[in-house]
């Protein structure tokens, strides 16, 4: 009989329990597909007596993840604790040093320490797999490293945080403001312990750093990502963007340009009739563009017990089959240091201004934009609310630096109330 692939699972939260359930439910199917049994030998969690909804009596227990990672009776260390440092990093390092392969769902760990850990894995003759770290159940890592390996990737973009997409789509469908929906997400358990990881764009930016590294052969460079959250998006922006044929999404974009590697995670407008524009609720979507395939759209559940555990098991099954791929799709020592783009590629922008009720106010705004080199494509003015009137402007393509110069000029006038909102319009 072929020797079983033995797992040690650190972290028995939603995803860890999901992995236990899949292995129990599909033991025969997994063996048929991989050619060997897959079994759990040992697990690690703080409280062995907690009721987790499934029996865990068959497994050896550790309360120290490093001790689990060093056990002689496991072949693969499955890290599902989370956190960019602390026990997660130390235990992964211990597993690699002990000759174990690693499967993880920890996007923060790899976005910050991925290069270091990938080099340690290769030096030890081990591999790190992390399909579950990006976009839940969507097999985007496998798509980039395997299915699209014959392509030169030109752009990767997507909606990679379901909580943000839930808030933005509910703002539109339910006519609720950001604050009310933030509270709703907190009650439903959709937010991280630190909510800014979600609504501030940090969680999604961790994922973008990993995709960018695989797509462009660069060392993960989380610090090189321009990050902006969704906290400033109002119902007015949602409504007025829709009125002009767009929807607002927290969109991650990575592309190599003549200016360097451009990596952005920020609210953008996308056409309402595009695949990204039609994405609803907590669903994720990743769009990959390459020279041979042009464009591939991957859509699916971005989080939750089943989808994320499914991604973990995809990696486990590959290891059971003997499929071994470098962490970021090529040897870690061959990855280049990313050269961040100083300025992004030009794009059209959406501007929302509160215009004071003064003669010549609109003409003054147009003149300031024109003097700064920002050309207006479309403009729409709405009825006055008290002493101001909302004005929407869609510009022709411009750089963010040019636009910021124009916005600085507008803030020094006596015709604009408050701070203008400026959102990039992404071509998809």
Catalytic residues: 207
Output b/e per residue, 134-145; b: 16+ Cβ within 10 A. bbbbbbbbbbbb
**Closest by CA position to 116, among listed 310, 327, 282, 396:** 327
Using CA atoms, how far apart are residues 75 and 392, in angstroms rounded to an integer?
A: 59
Question: For residue 8, what are the β-bridge partners?
Answer: 42, 77
The Cβ of residue 292 has, within 10 Å, a number of other Cβ atoms equal to 8
The sign one gets for the Cα dihedral 300, 306, 312, 317 is: negative
The Cβ of residue 298 has, within 10 Å, a number of other Cβ atoms equal to 16
Using CA atoms, how far apart are residues 15 and 46, in angstroms rounded to an integer?
A: 16
Q: 3-class DSSP state for residue 415? A: coil
Q: Which residues contact 126 (CB under 8 A, 6 or more apart)?
A: 95, 96, 99, 100, 101, 102
Q: How crowded is the C-beta side of 185, counted as CA atoms within 13 Å?
A: 29
For tokens 């976005």, name the residue.
Answer: 111
């Amino acid at each position: 009989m072929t020797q079983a692939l033995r797992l040690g699972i650190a972290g028995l939260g939603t995803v860890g329990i999901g992995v236990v359930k899949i292995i129990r439910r599909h033991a025969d199917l997994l063996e048929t597909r991989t050619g060997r049994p897959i079994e759990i030998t040992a697990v690690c969690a703080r409280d062995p007596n907690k009721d987790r909804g499934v029996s865990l009596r068959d497994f050896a227990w550790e309360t120290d993840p490093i001790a689990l990672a060093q056990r002689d009776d496991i072949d693969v260390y499955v890290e599902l604790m989370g956190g960019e440092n602390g026990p997660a990093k130390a235990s992964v390092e211990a597993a690699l040093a002990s000759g174990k392969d690693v499967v993880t769902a920890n996007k923060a760990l790899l976005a910050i320490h991925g290069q270091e850990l990938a080099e340690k894995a290769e030096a030890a003759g081990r591999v790190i797999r992390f399909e579950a770290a990006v976009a839940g159940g969507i097999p985007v890592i496998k798509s980039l490293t395997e299915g699209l390996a014959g392509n030169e990737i030109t752009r990767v973009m997507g909606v990679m945080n379901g909580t943000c997409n839930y808030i933005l789509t509910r703002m539109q469908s339910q006519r609720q403001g950001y604050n009310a929906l933030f509270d709703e997400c907190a009650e439903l358990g959709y937010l991280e312990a630190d909510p800014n990881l979600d609504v501030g764009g940090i969680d999604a930016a961790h994922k973008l750093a990993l995709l960018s590294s695989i797509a462009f052969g660069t060392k993960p460079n989380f610090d090189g990502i321009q990050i902006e959250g969704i906290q400033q998006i109002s119902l007015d922006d949602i409504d007025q963007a829709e009125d002009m044929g767009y929807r607002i999404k927290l969109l991650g974009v990575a592309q190599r340009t003549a200016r360097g590697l451009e990596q952005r995670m920020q609210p953008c407008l996308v056409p309402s009739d595009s695949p990204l524009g039609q994405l609803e609720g907590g669903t994720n979507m990743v769009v990959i563009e390459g020279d041979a395939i042009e464009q591939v759209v991957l859509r699916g559940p971005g989080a939750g017990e089943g989808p994320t555990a499914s991604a973990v098991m995809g990696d486990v099954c590959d290891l059971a089959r003997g499929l071994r791929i470098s962490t970021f799709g090529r040897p870690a020592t061959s990855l280049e240091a990313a050269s961040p783009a100083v300025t992004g590629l030009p794009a059209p922008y959406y501007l929302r201004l509160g215009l004071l009720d003064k003669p010549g106010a609109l003409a003054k705004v147009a003149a300031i934009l024109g003097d700064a080199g920002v050309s207006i494509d479309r403009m729409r003015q709405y009825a006055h609310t008290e002493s101001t009137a909302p004005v929407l402007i869609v510009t022709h393509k411009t750089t963010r630096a040019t636009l910021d110069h124009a916005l600085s000029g507008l803030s020094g006038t006596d015709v604009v109330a408050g701070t203008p909102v400026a959102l990039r319009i992404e071509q998809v």
